[in-house]
């Protein structure tokens, strides 16, 4: 994806183009997995705010094992993402039974634990996937460079090449939905829609693929194309399986380059209940890069987003690039107070594999989130949508301090020593998350060195959240 976005940026320059029974009334429900009184009346289900997990490469055995291990360590799990290796090829929607034998039983098992299941997907077909690719080519279902060219063929992050679907063609969309049906029949809960839409730009070959054979001309914009891609997965999955299904997708994601706004916006805002900014390095610079994209996503008006806790990348040949215990914990603390809390990617992400202290810190964060923050986020998400603003509202791009909803102030820790200066918002008193006897007047600054077990979270005094969560 790093390469894809860089090419996209260059291309843009070159080519110039109520009633809830609990959540809505009480922001502090005990949202345990046995809550049968919940009735979804919002476009987003409550499970989008629970703790998600995933692994970059996996099997039926490893997927069930990692979920079981989280639960055995006292860490609640609301959803698991089965990443790209689930298919026999990209994208035929067929389970690779050598890696995932008994996929239906696996999904049923997760559902028995009240764990939702999402599958990774993109909007293209590998050129070596025959006869599927040939069929789409023969029916003019792929985007092109121009009227006389063949299907656009682009290289993505896998060692393969693909062609992108012409989402403007209703026959192509109907055919694609037929492919989706094969996966939907398993009763999945959503999709992790990765950013193949940016492959419309191919600067490496000085080309772009904006020509729609169906329209017999160029599409309105890359953003318009992207919107169609994500909506097809969102709308059709809900049509088939119900309104508690979601798409996981990217909001603003610029990979550290000086771009923002439409140029690097992925999914449409109104269906983006579970956004993630991805592919960061596993160090504090990676955390800063994630927060930068979260800041830009806030500015753009995306509602809810998070990042891969601990970062996505690791490199076994350069151990210094691997995530440290401190980086992992500080990132987990930010993740627990983000719109989306999800943990997975390359290398080690399991908290108990660092040490017992890490596991206990991570456990407390996730238990607190499930017990208190799910309801709080449900309520504040409603406010955010009504006011057209984000759950995470950043103050600046210097320290990336932010408000999570109306009542929680968070200051990320972006270094190993744990020392930060907090500037509390004026107009309220603030209770320190880890010691309710410490109440601070708004408008003052606090310089403190926070141990790994603590970090700067302050709750607005007098709120239900302050009474319930601070202990």
Residue 320 has what pLDDT?
Answer: 54
Rounded Cα gap, residues 124 and 92, in angstroms? 10
Residue 11 has what pLDDT?
Answer: 43
Instruction: Single out the residue of 4, 20, 16, 39 nearest to residue 155, CA to CA.
Output: 4
Predicted confidence (pLDDT) at residue 403 exceeds the cutoff of 80: yes
pLDDT tens for 15-56 read: 333 333 333 333 333 334 444 456 889 999 999 999 999 998
Confidence label for 270 from pLDDT (cuts 50, 70 and 90)? very high
pLDDT tens for 116-168 read: 999 999 999 999 999 999 999 999 999 999 999 999 999 876 678 999 999 99
- 382 Cβ partners below 8 Å, 6+ apart? 24, 42
pLDDT tens for 2-11 read: 444 444 444 4
Residue 470 has what pLDDT?
Answer: 67
The answer to whether residues 64 and 106 touch, using CB atoms and an 8 Å cutoff, is yes
User: What is the signed CA dihedral for 227, 228, 233, 234, rounded to 10 degrees?
Assistant: 50
pLDDT tens for 412-471 read: 999 999 999 999 999 999 999 999 999 999 999 999 999 999 999 999 999 999 988 865
Model confidence, pTM? 0.91
Residue 316 has what pLDDT?
Answer: 52
What pairs with residue 79 in β-bridges? 52, 116
2-396 domain in CATH 3.20.20.80?
A: yes
Predicted confidence (pLDDT) at residue 250 exceeds the cutoff of 80: yes
DSSP H or E run through 460? strand 457-460
State how far the alpha carbon of 7 is from the alpha carbons of 121, 212, 259, in Å: 21, 21, 13
Boundaries of every domain in the chain:
2-396
Q: Which residue has the tokens 């969560």?
A: 469
Longest CA span, the chain: 72
Residue 10 has what pLDDT?
Answer: 42
Classify the C-alpha dihedral 173-174-179-180 as positive or negative. positive
């Amino acid at each position: 994806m790093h390469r894809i976005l860089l090419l996209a940026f260059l291309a843009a320059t070159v080519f110039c183009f109520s009633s809830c029974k609990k959540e809505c009334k009480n922001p502090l429900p005990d949202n345990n997995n046995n809550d049968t009184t919940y009735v979804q009346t919002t476009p987003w289900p409550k499970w989008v705010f629970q703790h998600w997990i995933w692994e970059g490469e996996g099997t039926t055995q490893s997927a069930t094992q990692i979920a079981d291990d989280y639960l055995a360590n006292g860490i609640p799990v609301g959803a698991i993402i089965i990443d790209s290796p689930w298919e026999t090829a990209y994208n035929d929607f067929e389970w690779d039974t050598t890696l995932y034998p008994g996929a239906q039983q696996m999904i049923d098992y997760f559902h028995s634990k009240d764990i939702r299941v999402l599958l990774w997907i993109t909007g293209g077909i590998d050129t070596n996937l025959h006869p599927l690719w040939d069929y789409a080519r023969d029916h003019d279902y792929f985007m092109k460079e121009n009227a006389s060219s063949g299907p656009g063929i682009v290289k993505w992050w896998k060692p393969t090449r693909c062609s992108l679907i012409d989402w403007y063609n209703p026959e192509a969309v109907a055919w694609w939905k037929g492919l989706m049906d094969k996966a939907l029949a398993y009763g999945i809960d959503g999709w992790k829609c990765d950013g193949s839409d940016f492959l419309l730009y191919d600067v490496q070959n000085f080309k772009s693929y904006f020509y729609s054979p169906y329209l017999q001309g160029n599409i309105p914009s890359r953003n318009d194309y992207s919107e169609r891609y994500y909506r097809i997965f969102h709308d059709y999955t809900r049509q088939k399986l119900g309104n508690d299904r979601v798409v996981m997708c990217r909001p603003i994601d610029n990979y550290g380059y000086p771009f923002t706004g439409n140029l690097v916006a992925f999914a449409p805002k109104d269906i983006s209940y579970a956004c993630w900014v991805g592919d960061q390095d596993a160090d504090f610079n990676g955390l800063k890069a994630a927060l930068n994209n979260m800041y830009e996503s806030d500015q753009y008006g995306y509602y809810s987003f998070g990042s891969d806790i601990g970062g996505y990348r690791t490199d076994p040949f350069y151990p210094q690039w691997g995530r440290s215990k401190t980086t992992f914990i500080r990132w987990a603390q930010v993740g627990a107070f983000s719109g989306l809390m999800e943990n997975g990617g390359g290398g080690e992400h399991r908290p108990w594999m660092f040490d017992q202290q890490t596991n206990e810190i991570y456990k407390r964060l996730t238990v607190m989130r499930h017990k208190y923050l799910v309801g709080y986020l449900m309520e504040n998400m409603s406010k955010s949508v009504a006011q057209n603003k984000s759950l995470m509202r950043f103050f600046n791009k210097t320290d990336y301090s932010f408000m999570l909803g109306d009542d929680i102030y968070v200051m990320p820790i972006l270094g190993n020593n744990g020392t930060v200066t907090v500037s509390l918002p004026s107009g309220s008193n603030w209770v320190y998350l880890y010691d309710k006897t410490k109440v601070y007047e708004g408008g003052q600054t606090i310089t403190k060195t926070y141990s790994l077990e603590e970090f700067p979270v302050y709750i607005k005094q007098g709120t239900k959240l302050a009474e319930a969560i601070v202990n």
